[in-house]
Amino acid sequence: MSVKRQFPRWSSIKPMLGWSWPTFQRRDRGLERALTVSDLRDLSAKRVPRSVFDYVEGGALQELSIQRAKDAFKRVEFRPRVLTGVANVDLTTTILGKSTSMPIIFAPTGYSRMMHYRGEYAVASSAARNDLIYSLSTMGTVSPEDLVGATPGGRKWFQLYLWQNRDQSRDFIQQAKRAGFEALVLTVDTPVSGQRLRDTRNGLTVPPKITMKTFLNMSTKPKWWANMLTTPPLEFAAMRGYDRSLFELAQLIFDPTVTMKDIPWLQKEWGGPLIVKGVQTVEDALALKKLGVQGIVLSNHGGRQMDRGTVPLEILPEVRAAVGKSMEIYIDGSVLNGGDVLAAVALGANAALIGRPYLYGLMAAGEAGVDRMSDIFRLEMDNTMKLLGVGKTSDLGPQHVRLRSH
């Protein structure tokens, strides 16, 4: 039987065209083409100086911790169930007794205004709009009060380094309390700063020692420079008013004498939910549970502190089995797509902290880039859940995932 030929119709051709008529609206086509966090990473590398990108991308010494964390997620194997009738997916979860849109928390990161001139303002605003928790770092470039004043909505946590001078630590805690932050995140894996060789080579030290090569590379990013030069200078905003050099402040930030005995003092001073970030062993998790800590973050600081540290994903099932369900467990380090988040939840995490992904978005396109990152994670998680045959994140469990040996 022959097929009758006909003239092509515009209505049939139009859907196949990969272009549209020109418009006068400003569009970021690079951002529109970003389909993965890896795409955002590549775009950000083109839009900021190499030294800034390296600050985000790099880790300690040989960067083995970063690579091992990535390798662990590559070993994830999902075990989908079929014929389960999952048409719609509910990605919401409960963190510290309150609902959030996805099991994702924006991790605390320092120097965010170095990545983009709006820095923490852009990230917190995006987090609030997407119903996600944002964690402000002690080494942030926006103060707790200023951040809340600019973005009053959304859930916010404050990350703290416990200083040798407890009066100074108390001042930071009071700032966060006055600003209405929900929880305090104590970072405990920084008795000293890690050796980040990329930053040393690029001159991003305290005090800065910018090399000629780094300076020339920065000069190739005029938009970044223009934003830097026409906005307030970078500072550790929570430490505003301390009459010390950056070098002296850095020496005070990290206290190698902190012990478990400091936790009760901190709980008393804060008076709210306390989360301890940087836990890498079952023993420490159990000790913190005994002290009544509400949550822990299994973390090796994104590979930026001790190289060859524990891989959080690999110890997650063991820690969850040891502490039971009474303590919330979060995980971070090389969580780069929605499947990574779901794997962590299935293996026992309440949520995953992400840092580099939103910084890639921030460097690539400011607040719009952070929004794009959230959209990417949401789409990846929704698609993976449907393929897994699971309708709610609360139904995920060890039966849905395993870590391959190779």
| CB-based burial, 384-395: b 16+ in 10 Å, e otherwise | bbbebbbbebee
Helix (H) or strand (E) holding 95: strand 93-95
406 included as an active-site residue: no
Q: Which two tokens stand for residue 381?
A: 């998680």
How crowded is residue 229: how many other Cβ atoms within 10 Å of its Cβ?
A: 9
The answer to whether the CB of 278 falls within 8 A of the CB of 332 is: no
Question: Burial level of 195, CB count in 10 A (0-12/13-18/19+)?
Answer: middle
CA distance 83 to 99: 29
The answer for 280, left when phi > 0, alpha when psi is -120 to 50, beta otherwise, is: alpha
Q: Is-contact 345 396, C-beta < 8 A?
A: yes
Q: Which of 116, 301, 400, 406 is catalytic?
A: 301
> What distance, in Å, lies between the first and last C-alpha atoms of the chain?
54
Alpha carbon of residue 144 to chain centroid: 18
What residues pair up with 76 in beta bridges, in sequence order? 403
Reduced to 3 states, what is the DSSP secondary structure of residue 276? strand
How many whole angstroms separate alpha carbon 224 and alpha carbon 221?
5
Residues annotated as catalytic are 301
